[in-house]
Amino acid sequence: MSTVLAAPPAHPDAQALPFAAPSVEAELNYLAPGTVRPVNYTFEPPAGIPWSSGTLDPRRVTIHNARPLAQNGGISLDKQGFQHVAHASALHDFSDEAQIRDVYLPEAEALLRTITGAAKVVIFDHTLRDSARGSRANAALREPVRRVHNDQTFVSGPRRVRDHLDADEAAQRLQRRFAIINLWRPLNEVEQLPLALCDARSIAPDDLVPTDLVYRDKTGETYSFLANARHRWFYFPRLRADEVLLLKIYDSREEGTARFTAHTAFDDPHTPDDAAPRRSIELRALVFWD
Ligand code: OGA
Ligand code: FE
């Protein structure tokens, strides 16, 4: 087995909070029922149009510490729809876009191949976030997202294949299994606004609300989520830069696997007053099996 799949070494503070707590209680922002098709903008919307339409429905939920389960190998992309992997990047300075392109993305592609056993991996976007300096108006440095969502839908998932492969290859690859995976890495240890991840098996079809994501040149589709008390939430306390999360955001396979999940940043009650800003990089990749 590849070393990248090994459990990460125990954190020096493994006996202390928040590691030792089995769960935290926190508020997550769902979508309130009644919004037929919410719209989110990725750039400053025209005058009079909100950045995000639809009413939020904040709900207090229990978010389980996923570390004990992950340590026992109990968490996987195909079961819960997310996974945790120990992996240090060769890149340390994520302020240089050229180095991200030349060092980080090829490394991430290799990691995704190893973990999934895929024959081909196509990374189609990446996003840097900073809770102190980022903003939703800045495509080069965004802020964390405090809304429960999934990045693709049953409509926009297959569309990504046609967007990023030439027509012949797309037609051929669409015949076989493919997935879209988000690889999420903190750039420093997460002290605030960690990512909450929903067990795919606890999501019901009625929870999903297709949502427009408006780019300058096209409109994508994501899922917003209605509250559902059955949702089972997890997080990895104080995730470090040498650990990554993988999120299944689409799978063409219809049976026996998680087809997508849901995620959101949340205000963590364990956050210290002097917490460092949350800085992270995520990328989305098409993953094709032969
Ligand atoms: C993502 C995402 C939000 C965040 O990686 O798709 O929604 O706060 N991230 O990091
Ligand atoms: Fe997302």
For residue 248, report the distance from its CA to the centre of ligand 1, in Å. 13
For residue 282, report the distance from its CA to the centre of ligand 1, in Å. 7
- Give the residue whose CA is nearest to atom 2 of ligand 1: 145
Evaluate if residue 139 carries a pLDDT over 90. yes
Evaluate if residue 1 carries a pLDDT over 60. no
For residue 42, report the distance from its CA to the centre of ligand 1, in Å. 13
Residues 6+ apart with CB under 8 A from 200: 79, 80, 81, 248, 258, 259, 260, 261
> Which of 281, 249, 216 lies closest to 42 in space, CA to CA?
216
- 229 in a domain, yes or no? yes
- 40 in a domain, yes or no? yes
Domain CATH code at residue 171 = 2.60.120
Q: How large is the average pLDDT for residues 13-17?
A: 77
Q: At 15, is the pLDDT very low, low, confident or very high (cuts 50, 70, 90)?
A: confident
> Which of 200, 249, 251 lies closest to 228 in space, CA to CA?
200
121 vs 290: CA distance, rounded Å: 11
Are 137 and 43 contacting, i.e. CB atoms less than 8 angstroms apart? yes
Binding pocket residue ranges, ligand 1, CB within 6 Å: 129, 144-145, 151, 182, 184, 195, 263, 265, 280, 282
Which ligand number lies closest to the CA of residue 244?
A: 1
- 200 in a domain, yes or no? yes
- 135 in a domain, yes or no? yes
Domain total in the chain: 1
237 vs 174: CA distance, rounded Å: 37
Are 8 and 242 contacting, i.e. CB atoms less than 8 angstroms apart? yes
For residue 9, report the distance from its CA to the centre of ligand 1, in Å. 25
- 1 in a domain, yes or no? no
Percent of the chain with pLDDT over 90: 91
Which ligand number lies closest to the CA of residue 146?
A: 1
Which ligand number lies closest to the CA of residue 280?
A: 1
pLDDT tens-digit readout, 247-270 = 999 999 999 999 999 999 999 999
Averaged pLDDT of the chain: 95
Q: Give the single-character DSSP code of 103.
A: I
Q: Note down the domain range covering 184.
A: 26-288
Q: How large is the average pLDDT for residues 188-200?
A: 97
Evaluate if residue 100 carries a pLDDT over 60. yes
Ligand 1: which of 185, 197, 247, 264 to mutate, most ligand atoms within 8 Å of CB?
264
For residue 239, report the distance from its CA to the centre of ligand 1, in Å. 14
- 207 in a domain, yes or no? yes
Evaluate if residue 151 carries a pLDDT over 50. yes
Of residues 158 and 4, more confidently modeled: 158
State residue 240 phi and psi, 5-degree precision. Answer: -110, 170
Q: At 183, is the pLDDT very low, low, confident or very high (cuts 50, 70, 90)?
A: very high
Percent of the chain with pLDDT over 70: 97
- 122 in a domain, yes or no? yes
Evaluate if residue 73 carries a pLDDT over 60. yes
Of residues 4 and 205, more confidently modeled: 205
Closest ligand 1 atom number to CA of residue 146? 8
- 150 in a domain, yes or no? yes
Evaluate if residue 63 carries a pLDDT over 50. yes
pLDDT score of 287? 98
Q: How large is the average pLDDT for residues 215-244?
A: 97
For residue 254, report the distance from its CA to the centre of ligand 2, in Å. 22
For residue 150, report the distance from its CA to the centre of ligand 2, in Å. 6
- Give the residue whose CA is nearest to atom 4 of ligand 1: 144
Are 35 and 209 contacting, i.e. CB atoms less than 8 angstroms apart? yes
Evaluate if residue 3 carries a pLDDT over 80. no
pLDDT score of 21? 87
For residue 264, report the distance from its CA to the centre of ligand 2, in Å. 7
Which ligand number lies closest to the CA of residue 128?
A: 1
Ligand 1: which of 235, 250, 280 to mutate, most ligand atoms within 8 Å of CB?
280
Evaluate if residue 6 carries a pLDDT over 60. no
pLDDT score of 8? 63
Which ligand number lies closest to the CA of residue 143?
A: 1
The predicted model scores a pTM of 0.95
Q: How large is the average pLDDT for residues 45-63?
A: 96
Parallel, antiparallel, or unpaired for β 56-65 and 233-235? Answer: parallel
